[in-house]
Amino acid sequence: MATSTLAERPRLQFCWPPVLWIGALHVLALLAFVPSFFSWSGLAVCLFLHWVTGGIGICLTYHRLLTHRSFALRPRWLEYVLTIIGTTASEGGAIGWVADHRRHHANSDEENDTHSPLRGFLWAHMAWWMFMKGDNEHNPEYYKRWAPDLYKDPVHRFLEKTHLIYPLLLFAALYAVGGMSWLVWGGFVRTVFVLHSTWLVNSASHIWGYRSHVTRDRSTNLWWVALLTYGEGWHNNHHAYQTSARHGLRWWEVDMTYITIGVMKAMGIAYNIKAVRTRMNPVPAMTAPVAGPGSE
């Protein structure tokens, strides 16, 4: 209800499955400290797959395509291929991811936000998916409420159910082709790197940085998060223009994902691209964050 405060939040339930899976990936990433598991080709695969799985899979596909429909793809099956690439980032299936993120936009920095830093940096960064409140449990009701367009698609439902298979297949392929160094660096280290890069958009880009637009949340533009996330760190721009495929609005706000969408347009596979041209609101520019619940 409107008068609820963060102090009156409902009881949280610990979620073991994602904690065990993501926790295991963090432990396995520590194998990077074994010198014999390092190779320069493994490091190159790590950086390349950071872009493929984080940049193409999460930023371009899960976020700008599936969550906000800021552009369209042809042929249709390409959306499913890119969704499978998104699953290899180990951030869960697309339907759950999209539902969580749409809920974030609907309640940004309010009581029902999926991951507001008003509960603390650690909550916004990674604790939010370790706990469920009852109203954000990943079940059909939740999917139908926040991602009905994806939930009614049988292919997307199938990919949601089988999302764990694809990162495991990628790990197996890396080991088969490049041995332990590719598995450790291209698999485990890369996954942890992508996870924290994505989570920084939810945490750091609602705390530090500058604001170009008046929004009802505390979103910010933060250059180093934008570098790590291929443009997603221009997060205040994104909250101001949520359906825009273009997040970097000033000439120096480099937006690799929007550049990639432009290349896809030139290739004839991306169309109906929604891209805001306004660089910032006329007044007032560079605003301070607005007050949110619990700040008074």
Q: Which residues bind Zn ion (CB under 5 A)?
A: 219
Give the chain as a DSSP string: -TT--GGGPPPPEE-HHHHHHHHHHHHHHGGGGSGGG--HHHHHHHHHHIIIIIIIIIIIIIIIIIIT--SEESSTHHHHHHHHHHHTTSS--HHHHHHHHHHHHHTTTSTT-SS-GGG-HHHHHTGGGGEE-SSS-SSHHHHHHH-HHHHT-HHHHHHHHTTTHHHHHHHHHHHHHHHHHIIIIIIIIHHHHHHHHHHHHHTGGGTSSB--S--SS---B-HHHHHHTTTTTBHHHHHHSTT-S----STTS--HHHHHHHHHHHTTSEES-------S-SS--SPPPPP-TT--
Instruction: Tell the smallest beta-carbon distance from residue 207 to Zn ion (Å).
Output: 11
Residue whose CB is less far from Zn ion, 183 or 228: 228
In the 3-class helix/strand/coil scheme, how is 89-137 assigned residue by residue?
A: CCCCCHHHHHHHHHHHHHCCCCCCCCCCHHHCHHHHHCHHHHEECCCCC
Residue whose CB is less far from Zn ion, 111 or 189: 111
Instruction: Tell the smallest beta-carbon distance from residue 219 to Zn ion (Å).
Output: 5
**What letter represents residue 272's amino acid?**
N
Residue whose CB is less far from Zn ion, 178 or 209: 209
Residue whose CB is less far from Zn ion, 31 or 200: 200
**What letter represents residue 75's amino acid?**
P
Residue whose CB is less far from Zn ion, 98 or 183: 98
Give the nearest residue (CB) to Zn ion.
219
Instruction: Tell the smallest beta-carbon distance from residue 104 to Zn ion (Å).
Output: 6
Instruction: Tell the smallest beta-carbon distance from residue 41 to Zn ion (Å).
Output: 35
Residue whose CB is less far from Zn ion, 219 or 260: 219
Residue whose CB is less far from Zn ion, 93 or 233: 233
Instruction: Tell the smallest beta-carbon distance from residue 275 to Zn ion (Å).
Output: 15
Instruction: Tell the smallest beta-carbon distance from residue 237 to Zn ion (Å).
Output: 11
Instruction: Tell the smallest beta-carbon distance from residue 234 to Zn ion (Å).
Output: 11
